[in-house]
Amino acid sequence: GENVEQHPSTLSVQEGDSAVIKCTYSDSASNYFPWYKQELGKGPQLIIDIRSNVGEKKDQRIAVTLNKTAKHFSLHITETQPEDSAVYFCAASIQAAGNKLTFGGGTRVLVKP
Amino acid sequence: GAVVSQHPSRVICKSGTSVKIECRSLDFQATTMFWYRQFPKQSLMLMATSNEGSKATYEQGVEKDKFLINHASLTLSTLTVTSAHPEDSSFYICSAPTWTANYNEQFFGPGTRLTVL
């Protein structure tokens, strides 16, 4: 089955700096890669996603890149703000195969004011 | 965006009792829902896929008789933790996929914190 590795497990950045989280996946058939933000005691919220036919996608301060050949994808948050502090999860799935998500281990991001 | 609710948000029960958690898609229909379990400071682990009108599909290592899943309608799935024990204490999260724009997106519920004494 699919295996998703995520790094780093914790990330501390100064407000205004950028944060980068990287994930690798094992199943070359995976074609959908969402990123979720989870605040304490809440369910995950989708913040951005990318499909395998796209190399990069941007939404305001958040961007995601995908390298299919290397089987890795990354989340970039620019101009970080204290409210960006949360746990971020990457995930991978095969959209044609029931949409089951395999999650990475998570990255705890702390933005210091 | 689509909304998924869970009830209750928190439950405390005694060891040996059963607990039912509900997952509802509020503004869309879902023939499939997913149940996850999350231990503190860990990732989400898929427990099972709930299928409307048919049996749930359980992931390897998940006890079917302990975690009963019923997908009663296109907007409701329930997870019953039977004969709960302290090691079942965890954060249980459901999700449901639906089409948004041009692709299939999963929406997560707010989670249910189960504490077994």
How long a stretch of residues is chain B? 117
Instruction: For residues B45 and B112, give the distance between their C-alpha atoms in angstroms, rounded to a whole number.
Output: 15
pLDDT over 70 for what percent of chain A?
Answer: 97
Structure token digits, residue B42: 């860990």
CB contact under 8 A, B111 and A41: yes
Q: What is the DSSP string of B37-70?
A: EE-TTS-EEEEEEEETTS--EEPTT--TTTEEEE
Instruction: Identify the contact set of chain B against chain A, taking CB-CB distances under 8 A.
Output: 4, 6, 32, 34, 41-46, 49, 93, 95, 97, 103-111, 113
- Which pLDDT tens digits describe chain B residue by residue (117 residues)? 789 999 999 999 999 999 999 999 999 999 999 999 999 999 999 999 999 988 999 999 999 999 999 998 999 999 999 999 999 999 999 999 887 766 678 899 999 999 999
- The minimum CA-CA distance between B17 and chain A, rounded to whole Å, is 24
Location of structure tokens 């890669």: A33
Pairs of CB atoms within 8 A across A/B: 53
- Alpha helices (H) along A43-84: none
Residue A13 has pLDDT above 80, yes or no: yes
Provide the pLDDT for residue B108. Answer: 95
- Secondary structure of residue B87 in the 3-state scheme: helix
* Closest CB from B44, B97, B104 relative to A103: B44
CA dihedral A8, A9, A13, A18 (to 10 degrees): 40
What's the confidence (pLDDT) of residue A94? 86
Residue tagged 């041009």 (tokens) = B102
Residue A88: is its pLDDT beyond 80?
Answer: yes
Each residue's pLDDT tens digit, A94-109: 876 567 899 999 999 9
CB contact under 8 A, B104 and A49: no
pLDDT for residue A52: 84
Q: Left (φ > 0), alpha (ψ -120 to 50) or beta: where does B26 sit?
A: alpha
- pLDDT of A35-58, one tens digit each? 999 999 999 999 999 988 889 999
Cα gap A101→A36, rounded to integer Å: 12
What does the pLDDT average to over A74-96? 94
Check A49 against B105: CB less than 8 A apart: yes
CB-CB neighbours of A27 under 10 Å? 16
Per-residue pLDDT at B102: 60
Give 3-state DSSP helix, strand, coil % of chain B, rounded to 5.
Answer: 5, 55, 40
